[in-house]
Amino acid sequence: MRQVRRHGITEKKVKLKVESPPQAEFPTLEGSLNAASKRFALVVSRFNSFITERLLLSACDGLLRSGAKRRDIDVVRVPGAFEVPLAARTLAGTGEYDAIICIGCLLRGDTAHYDVIVNEVTRGIGQSAQETGVPHAFGVLTCDTLEQAIDRAGLKMGNKGFEAALAAVEMANLKKTVTGRSSLVVGKSKGKNKRKNEKSKR
Tell how far CA 158 is from the center of its chain: 15
- The conformational region for residue 95 under phi > 0 = left, psi -120 to 50 = alpha, else beta, is left
Write down the catalytic residue from 30, 96, 113, 126.
Answer: 113
Angle at 89 between CA 88 and CA 93, to 5 degrees: 115
Tell how far CA 48 is from the center of its chain: 22
Cβ–Cβ < 8 Å for 152, 58: no
Specify the 3-state DSSP secondary structure of 104. Answer: strand
Task: Give the number of other Cβ atoms within 10 Å of residue 21's Cβ.
Answer: 4
Spatial distance between the Cα atoms of 49 and 75, rounded to a whole number of angstroms: 14
Which amino acid type is present at position 170? E
Helix (H) or strand (E) holding 166: helix 160-201
113 has catalytic annotation: yes
Positions annotated as catalytic residues are 113
